[in-house]
Structure 1
Amino acid sequence: MAIKIFITGVTGYIAGDTFSVLQDKHPEYEYTALVRTDEKADIIKKAYPSTRTVIGDLDDSELLKKEASKADIVLHAADASDHEGAAKAIAAGIVEGHSKEHPGFWLHTGGAGILTWEDSEKGRLGEHSDKEYNDWDGVAELTGLPDSAFHRNVDKVVIEAGEKHSDVLKTALVCPPTIYGRGRGPVSVRSRQAYELTKLILKEKYIPVIGEGKSRWNHIHVADLAQLFLLLVEAAAANKLDDELWGKKGYYLCESGEHVWTELAQKIAKDAEKAGFVNKLEKKPLARQAALDVAGFEAISWGLNSRGKAVRAGKLLGWKPTAPSIEDDAPNFVKDEHERLEASS
């Protein structure tokens, strides 16, 4: 029997890239993709003819429950970190359709915005922080973050379902930070944080500095993130039931380093200058409300700290990021954003 995978978000950035890798590496799996419209279903079928599509959205709880109950593996990436109802439906479906002899696996996409909780609660912007999380020695801290933390309500649904139904439901919560790199999916190939920053620099002709300009985030190339999902899918397909992989310990940070937002903005500005898109730019303060007006949380995140060490995936799955650094890739998203701005003008 072929492994059955139900995936959400294939027309998006993360799942789109991951799906391209899965299709290339494991064409023998049976894939079902949730899409919102017939038009998007046609795009997916054209790119991947053997994929079954179902039309619906994250509010279609019965559909999510039904498809999750039939799948061996659910890979949830469509607004996964913020849609509580979808998470509950997926959990219920997997539990209903599986048993101890045939457990279901749920690979859930969280977000490292959750690690900004302390800065957010204390109203800090652009301040230096030494706090660094760890998904191996400090996994209990990650699974026990305050309820007020960003994404925490959905994280709790995943974590609690994995603990309560550990015999039939195996969960892995993947928590990516700033993602960069051109996606390989059939629709969305663009991330947001670093790209919105680039867009601001190109349009407004200055280097934004939020607060003291010292905040830091981890980053990961989308191809390295897709590789982590691939390894988790393969572990699930092989029915590897190591308690270190799933459930209360199955929380995966994923990073290949970190950047100071102001320093990254300066690098982007320098690359834009080299490309002839701007003249030499100066730094300028960007206030909280102005940042929100620019790009919502993505812009505010340039003033927050989100730092963690990804250890678990390397130890258990042999995962090792190999893609170019965010600094080395910056000229590419400068070029991409310039082309988008030209096309929209």
Structure 2
Amino acid sequence: MNHTGATGYIGGDALATLHAAHPEFSYVALIRSNEKAEQVKARFPNVRVVLGDLDNSALLQRESAAADIVLHTADASDHVGAAKAIAAGLVAGHTKEKPGYWLHTGGTGILTFEDSDKGTFGNKRDKVYDDWEGVEELLNLPDHAFHRNVDKLVLDAAAKHADVLKVALICPPTIYGRGRGPCSQRGRQVYELAKVTLQLQKGPIIGAGQAIWNNVHIHDLSDFYALLVHAAVAGQNDDGIWGPKAYYLTENGEHRWGDLAQSTAEAAAKLGLIPEAKAEPIDLESAKQYAGFESLSWGLNSRGRALRARKLLGWKPSYPSLLEELPQIVQSEWQRLQE
């Protein structure tokens, strides 16, 4: 099994989950630096480390050709070269009798194009996508949507080489919860929101704060990767699990960004980390100075329903909700700021 992103938040937690369930698997991890490689090997001694990065297409192609399964999480949604190399390698190294499996990670930033096109931030949109009856809509999103260029490469490969290449496109929303990987255990959007709340002593709200986004616990997401891996190992090639329509929105609820900013401030105040539980509007430029690109998402809508994973693979998210996890997130960000 070939793994990109083992040192990251998503990939590290997925590797920890899979390795715990199947220590007997043969794992190969693509890692950029010797330092990170040592961290991975210390935690998982039987993982074979290949030093290299996503720009090394020949290496990616060679390792993908030799792998039964490729789990791609490292900058997967935006790196065109890596997607091309993985597709080419899997096709070259597999046959109809022994297909290659590709678990590709996208992201629900792809659903924010309407807000981005119109330059609107903080307003609610009622549009909710779904990956079952509405999957055609997801397969035909506008070409200029975020991540769409790589999505198209993956889906085109899935259609063109359906017999040899079994593809699942996993599209996570806001991810939260402490990761169990060897290097990065921290999420992004909500963690940056908590950090900025502590820095400003108030929750940051973009626009009217009415924009809505889905969320999922990192452990529930990893459980879904594991379900797909189990299906691959079992040769479970039922229609819809893999292929050009195997688009999975992996959500387990949604949050309104303004409400989340208020809840984050309340959690911080309750922990005694800020003087009072208040959330106030902040302009985009100021927000970007504190949290960079992540802050833009606090004003955007990304709404969908994860039906495919539940219907076809029996995915049953069970970990704590985002609101339940907020105190731990705020506390961990406080500790990071003290370092």
**Which of these residues, 246, 254, 260, is aligned with residue 258 of structure 1?**
254
**Which of these residues, 307, 314, 332, is aligned with residue 311 of structure 1?**
307
> In the alignment, which residue of structure 2 is the partner of 1:155?
151
Counterpart code for 1:227: D
Per-residue deviation at 1:204? 1.1
Question: What TM-score, normalized by structure 2, do the two folds share?
Answer: 0.99
Secondary structure class of the residue paired with 1:247: coil
> In the alignment, which residue of structure 2 is the partner of 1:277?
273
Contact 2:208 2:258 survives alignment (8 Å): no
Per-residue deviation at 1:281? 4.1
Per-residue deviation at 1:292? 2.5
In 1, the alpha carbon distance for the partners of 2:64 and 2:178 equals 29
Counterpart code for 1:165: H
Q: Map of 1:77-92 to 2, 5 A cutoff?
A: 77-92=73-88
Contact 1:243 1:249 survives alignment (8 Å): no
Counterpart code for 2:127: K
In 1, the alpha carbon distance for the partners of 2:165 and 2:85 equals 13
- Structure 1 range deviating more: 328-337 or 243-252: 243-252
Counterpart code for 1:45: K
> In the alignment, which residue of structure 2 is the partner of 1:116?
112
Question: What TM-score, normalized by structure 1, do the two folds share?
Answer: 0.97
Contact 1:15 1:77 survives alignment (8 Å): yes
> In the alignment, which residue of structure 1 is the partner of 2:184?
188
In 2, the alpha carbon distance for the partners of 1:333 and 1:120 equals 28
Contact 2:175 2:217 survives alignment (8 Å): yes
Per-residue deviation at 1:79? 0.6
Aligned-residue sequence identity (percent) comes to: 57
Per-residue deviation at 1:147? 0.6
- Structure 1 range deviating more: 82-91 or 286-295: 286-295
Contact 2:220 2:319 survives alignment (8 Å): yes
In 2, the alpha carbon distance for the partners of 1:148 and 1:114 equals 9
Counterpart code for 1:332: Q
**Which of these residues, 50, 55, 63, is aligned with residue 54 of structure 1?**
50
The gaps in structure 2 that reach 5 residues or longer are none
Secondary structure class of the residue paired with 1:303: coil
> In the alignment, which residue of structure 1 is the partner of 2:336?
340
Per-residue Cα deviation, 1:7-43 (whole angstroms, up to 9, x for no partner): 0000100010010010010111100000001221111
**Which of these residues, 160, 170, 190, is aligned with residue 166 of structure 2?**
170
Q: Map of 1:1-345 to 2, 5 A cutoff?
A: 5-343=1-339
In 1, the alpha carbon distance for the partners of 2:278 and 2:319 equals 30
Per-residue Cα deviation, 1:59-93 (whole angstroms, up to 9, x for no partner): 00000000000000000000101101100000000
Secondary structure class of the residue paired with 1:248: coil
The gaps in structure 1 that reach 5 residues or longer are none
Per-residue deviation at 1:212? 1.4
In 2, the alpha carbon distance for the partners of 1:190 and 1:297 equals 16
Per-residue deviation at 1:289? 2.1
- Structure 1 range deviating more: 27-36 or 290-299: 290-299
Pairwise CA RMSD? 0.8
Contact 2:71 2:102 survives alignment (8 Å): yes
Per-residue deviation at 1:295? 2.1
